[in-house]
Amino acid sequence: MTVAETSHPTVPLARPSGLRGAAADWASDQRAFKTASWGKAMMWIFLLSDTFIFSCFLLSYMTVRMSTTVPWPNPSEVFALNFGGTDVPLILIAIMTFVLISSSGTMAMAVNYGYRRDRKMTTILIVLTAFFGATFVGMQAFEWTKLIMEGVRPWGNPWGAPQFGSTFFMITGFHGTHVTIGVLFLLNIARKVWRGDFDEERHGFFTARRGSYDNVEVMGLYWHFVDLVWVFIFAFFYLW
């Protein structure tokens, strides 16, 4: 050992504190994503951006509804279904909500079985989740058809404030698009799990590294977000 080495020992650099420390973590990628894959981190960032979009839509809906001088349609009358000559308010919406919330449960179980490497149960639960999602979209299409036949348009409706149609079709349509895209991705993930792509590291679209079922969890994050957004839409449009 030389004199220079003994007189100038190597001292590890201290980690900066505060905002500088946070910036150093993200820049070096040593701590920020230590336990999270890039796919999962990017999904969180996407969901954050999507949260802003849905928040703007819902805030716009609140602003329009509170500022209009024309009476707003009564949801119990607009979204009622007739059974045996009796109008049952919000029955379709209640079923839609139950179906979508149930799909969150099946998706959570699919993630659990995915990390257990149980390909059969993971595939079944993902397909079941996709079925619930497709059922929800089908019921939403029926709801749209019913309202259109009753005269609801983006520029007006027979029950009052004309802004009702534009806000309803925009927000529920944007959410329904998210659910439809989610169903397609769920079926793609189910196919890959069933074929063993995640175990064999078969190259292709949306395939994780060998032995990793991270993409099942990433898909689960997206699906839970879609379900959570529906809770807010349900509260704003159908209960307010």
CATH number at residue 169: 1.20.120.80
Range of the domain at 79: 37-239
Q: How many domains does the chain have?
A: 1
Average confidence score pLDDT of the chain:
84
> Is 133 inside a domain boundary?
yes
Is 203 exposed, middle or buried, given 0-12, 13-18 or 19+ CB atoms closer than 10 A?
exposed
DSSP lists the bridge partners of residue 153 as 156
Is 9 exposed, middle or buried, given 0-12, 13-18 or 19+ CB atoms closer than 10 A?
exposed
pLDDT digits (tens, 9 = 90+) for 14-42: 666 777 766 665 555 555 556 667 778 88
> Is 95 inside a domain boundary?
yes
Rounded Cα distance, 170 and 77, in Å: 21
Model pLDDT, residue 21: 66
pLDDT digits (tens, 9 = 90+) for 184-236: 999 999 998 888 877 776 665 555 555 567 889 999 999 999 999 999 999 98
Task: Check pLDDT > 80 for residue 51.
Answer: yes
> Is 4 inside a domain boundary?
no
Is 53 exposed, middle or buried, given 0-12, 13-18 or 19+ CB atoms closer than 10 A?
exposed
Model pLDDT, residue 149: 93
Residue 8 φ/ψ, nearest 5 degrees: -130, 75
Rounded Cα distance, 46 and 67, in Å: 32
**Helix or strand holding residue 90 (H, E):** none
Neighbours of 16 (CB within 10 A): 12
> Is 194 inside a domain boundary?
yes
> Is 52 inside a domain boundary?
yes
> Is 98 inside a domain boundary?
yes
Model pLDDT, residue 35: 66
> Is 17 inside a domain boundary?
no
> Is 222 inside a domain boundary?
yes
Q: Could you identify the residue written with the tokens 């078969």?
A: 202
Question: pTM, whole model, 2 decimals?
Answer: 0.81
Rounded Cα distance, 59 and 42, in Å: 26
pLDDT digits (tens, 9 = 90+) for 103-155: 999 999 999 998 888 889 999 999 999 999 999 999 999 999 999 998 888 88
